[in-house]
Amino acid sequence: MFERFTKDARATVTGAVEHAERAGADTVTEEHLLLALLDQDTGRTSFAITALGLADRRDSVAAGLAEARRRGGMTKADAEALADIGIDLTAVVSRIEEAHGEGALRGDRGGRRRWTGGRPFTRGAKKILEKSLRVALGRGDRFIGGEHLLLALAASPGPVADVLAEHGVTYASAERALYGDGAGGADGHRKAG
């Protein structure tokens, strides 16, 4: 599949690995893919990120991702569902952190790697890469670019899509920023993959 990645998509994947390394994470996640997309400074994806206002709110996006990581990756919908049955996720996280330390639900081991070599991608990150292929094919594109990665992140339910939505970015708004009002795929219809 990587032979279909454009230069900017490859840079995003490489950047995601670098973000994971800097964070001391054992794996590369969807969050790292988004942070690497925000690092792009040229091309269609960079233009869309600026048009969507994400470039100016990078710190806010990073803080939203950190809060989602603190919740163990639970989405806002998960928190609401728990609240409906009388469970306050914020209180649960606070109690766990009191007992086990800050960030206990993050799921990584704080950089204590037991092996050498590259960091593996999480199942969720792999699904984003696969979805980006479906998005590209659905649009009639032969290659996967950073724009397809952005659309895949916005279209995939989870903490990253929640953070994007909190910043006003949905699949539809990202598609408009990337392609304008004539945002349809090869056959003129929008496709989320």
Tell me what pLDDT residue 116 has: 43
Residue that is written with structure tokens 């292929």 in the block = 133
Tokens for 43?
A: 């091309």
DSSP-assigned letter for residue 27: S
In this prediction, residue 164 carries a pLDDT of: 97
pLDDT of residue 108: 46
- pLDDT at residue number 81: 72
Domains defined for the chain, CATH in brackets: 2-73+120-179 (1.10.1780.10)
Low-confidence ranges of the chain (pLDDT < 70): 1, 73-75, 77-80, 82-83, 88-117, 182-193
pLDDT at residue 4, rounded to an integer: 87
User: Do the beta carbons of residue 25 and residue 111 sit within 8 Å?
Assistant: yes
Helical axes 58-70 vs 30-39, angle rounded to 10°? 170
